[in-house]
Structure 1
């Protein structure tokens, strides 16, 4: 049984610890702010602030701060997504207090130095342009942009060159003040220390961080807009993205996870067998499932020679329709999925980094992290009929985006 403890500290921080023997700790600190909290004029500001927190504090300039990070002797990363900004540290247990102090200084006392801010604009614009040069990332971004009318999911987390260039120190400080609050923060720590000891360390370190008024995130479900969209780029291959968004119940999530695993995740997935092994159309094809409180969607992606893109699209859509009629899935798939789930659970429990990330993700999505212990029992009750029923609910009216690898646009129409 996992030694799992959860406490909400006096200032509002949610602290979760798991005690595991070892010489290392894995720490994830998440502030519940991402691109979904941004207005159109603010697109990319959460990601920009994440960058700026590494550029200096009230106590350290850029060089000094990065020297402190280096002296931890571990691994320090950060990322921003739709709903959160996350900072993760893995290092020797003896560096835990230093790590907490470092995070405190970065989160509570950023300098937002004007010179560093202007330099970072160039860095982030370079990051944006690099993603635009990547065919897979471009397909994903444009697929989401065309799939929605009002949902903030249509906009890239990194923002646009226009919004990035518009950010000032005053705007960053105001956004930071409004969202970087203790009651908006989750700390997950896997280490060899007792919960009481970790609580004391975190309370001592962050005692000066005072509560503010957190604005709740209100995101209404928006069904993707069905349709096909085509763009052209000078590249060797063409890409194909297919997106479905949906709203399903908690009971339907496990059957959908089984469906998705068989559809495009396993090494023997339906899409892989049909597109690559049987037809030789693509080197790789996959499906990706998002099942959070704020986002529920399923994406299919592949890259094929341009002359094969119509065939690949028709084949994928045909497969999905056949699944809705009961094809491809057998009782054996449920037995395999049970083994997969067991392997995933035990693998996560054995790895402190994976476990820390998993617990954080569950908390951010307002799920109970320890509920996975019940998933094996629930899987026993999943039927093939459940899988077919959820497929009919999900595979309805796709948004399709095709990035074609040729320059002659005259013979191809956007539909």
Structure 2
């Protein structure tokens, strides 16, 4: 179905090339370093470095670099998450050589100019404040903070105002030199170029990237701490978040994906139908599933009028208990999921950028890049009993966070 090859360059860079007809290319470069791997005093350093790589190299100043990025005429972006830092580029294939040259220079030779760093520090702190002003982002952050005692998941990817303010140029440079290494990175390139030509082009620009010693990055799994927590914020509505963390086997992931889709992802999800359509409690409600080790968790989020918060909370818990008893799921739901997954796969195959991103995520998660094809076959064997079994396993002892829009007479204490 996909014409791809995987190889490793002499410096240890893992390279996946995918031949796909068309005039565009899409590449994703993933470096296995993220917020989970940061020392506590340096929380946010990965995100800060990601920003600074766009602020100039040893040979190109900030203005020149960004001028050349703009003239690729495509999309050149980056993001940092808990386990990786990822750079993405999509443009016309005729721009691939220049794109590889620019990205290679940025990754290998960032300037970490102090004046540029001070300007970017202000931008990042502003980004942090904006996220704290957003009810959804705030609920996510506070939910994770309360759910974990020691896990790095309790800290936001952006970091804290204190940690961001304390970082110096030499901190970023030292961290970059240690962790930005080819033998801990993956590059996925989707284009119409033959494999040998694509490999040669990548090798020309990334072959000089010096191999480094891979640091140990042991992050242990931590179960969420059950409890209900409450805080208050000046906003029109109240927000409600549930978090369940778990350790599951590989064969349990597909039934859980089916469960999550029906629970809170589809337009006709159980949560949407019960909270919005049947009771008018919320405009929107969703569930979000993360299956990348050691981040395995499921979160539910909604916003509701404050006077109906307890009603919504009780209803969500009731729904989850009913699912554990076999309610809400029928054979037709499994048939629908097969259609949805098949549609999703063909949609991914159709778009260069989606395919590149999907394959990178699979390799970062140490999965087969073509695992979704195997899921199509496995899906035939998923039963309603499998869904009920996984529901019983994960929907126990949640961490619940209430971000209330107005203060009540009851005290503002966690319990």
Which residue in 2 is equivalent to 1:150? 150
Aligned-partner Cα distance in 1 for 2:216–2:256: 29
Which residue in 2 is equivalent to 1:314? 314
1:207 deviation in Å?
A: 2.3
Which digits, 9 at most, give the CA deviation of each residue in 1:327-354, with x for residues without a partner? 1111111101000110011110111111
Which residue in 2 is equivalent to 1:290? 290
5+ residue gaps in structure 2? none
Which residue in 2 is equivalent to 1:112? 112
Task: Tell me, yes or no, if the aligned pair for 1:104 and 1:206 is still in contact at 8 Å.
Answer: yes
Which residue in 1 is equivalent to 2:45? 45
| Counterpart mapping for 1:56-135 below 5 A | 56-135=56-135
Which digits, 9 at most, give the CA deviation of each residue in 1:187-211, with x for residues without a partner? 1011000111111111111222111
Which residue in 2 is equivalent to 1:378? 378
| Counterpart mapping for 1:337-348 below 5 A | 337-348=337-348
Aligned-partner Cα distance in 2 for 1:201–1:52: 26
Aligned-partner Cα distance in 1 for 2:359–2:225: 33
Task: Tell me, yes or no, if the aligned pair for 1:241 and 1:402 is still in contact at 8 Å.
Answer: yes
Task: Tell me, yes or no, if the aligned pair for 1:19 and 1:191 is still in contact at 8 Å.
Answer: yes
SS in 1 for 2:222: coil
Comparing 354-363 with 405-414, greater Cα deviation is found at: 405-414
1:102 deviation in Å?
A: 0.1
Task: Tell me, yes or no, if the aligned pair for 1:270 and 1:328 is still in contact at 8 Å.
Answer: yes
Task: Tell me, yes or no, if the aligned pair for 1:238 and 1:402 is still in contact at 8 Å.
Answer: yes
Task: Tell me, yes or no, if the aligned pair for 2:265 and 2:287 is still in contact at 8 Å.
Answer: yes
| Counterpart mapping for 1:356-375 below 5 A | 356-375=356-375
Aligned-partner Cα distance in 1 for 2:225–2:268: 31
1:281 pairs with 2:281: yes
Aligned-partner Cα distance in 1 for 2:397–2:80: 30
Task: Tell me, yes or no, if the aligned pair for 2:26 and 2:88 is still in contact at 8 Å.
Answer: yes
Aligned-partner Cα distance in 2 for 1:137–1:119: 24
Task: Tell me, yes or no, if the aligned pair for 1:43 and 1:157 is still in contact at 8 Å.
Answer: yes
Task: Tell me, yes or no, if the aligned pair for 1:293 and 1:366 is still in contact at 8 Å.
Answer: no
Aligned-partner Cα distance in 2 for 1:308–1:49: 43
5+ residue gaps in structure 1? none
1:408 deviation in Å?
A: 4.5
Aligned residues: CA RMSD: 1.0
Task: Tell me, yes or no, if the aligned pair for 2:9 and 2:207 is still in contact at 8 Å.
Answer: no
- Matched residue count: 415
Which residue in 2 is equivalent to 1:180? 180
Aligned-partner Cα distance in 2 for 1:223–1:299: 14
Which residue in 2 is equivalent to 1:140? 140
Task: Tell me, yes or no, if the aligned pair for 1:242 and 1:401 is still in contact at 8 Å.
Answer: yes
Which residue in 2 is equivalent to 1:10? 10
Aligned-partner Cα distance in 2 for 1:408–1:124: 34
| Counterpart mapping for 1:161-240 below 5 A | 161-240=161-240
Ranges of 4+ aligned residues in structure 1 off by more than 6 Å: none
Which residue in 2 is equivalent to 1:398? 398
Task: Tell me, yes or no, if the aligned pair for 1:234 and 1:407 is still in contact at 8 Å.
Answer: no
1:294 deviation in Å?
A: 2.1
Task: Tell me, yes or no, if the aligned pair for 2:231 and 2:412 is still in contact at 8 Å.
Answer: no
SS in 2 for 1:369: coil
Aligned-partner Cα distance in 2 for 1:411–1:88: 47
SS in 2 for 1:58: coil
1:410 deviation in Å?
A: 4.7
Aligned-partner Cα distance in 2 for 1:413–1:211: 51
SS in 1 for 2:159: coil
Aligned-partner Cα distance in 2 for 1:370–1:251: 16
1:216 deviation in Å?
A: 3.3
1:104 deviation in Å?
A: 1.0
Aligned-partner Cα distance in 2 for 1:357–1:58: 29
Task: Tell me, yes or no, if the aligned pair for 1:232 and 1:409 is still in contact at 8 Å.
Answer: no
- Please report the TM-score for the alignment, with normalisation by the length of structure 2: 0.99
| Counterpart mapping for 1:26-37 below 5 A | 26-37=26-37
Aligned-partner Cα distance in 2 for 1:238–1:409: 16
1:409 deviation in Å?
A: 5.9
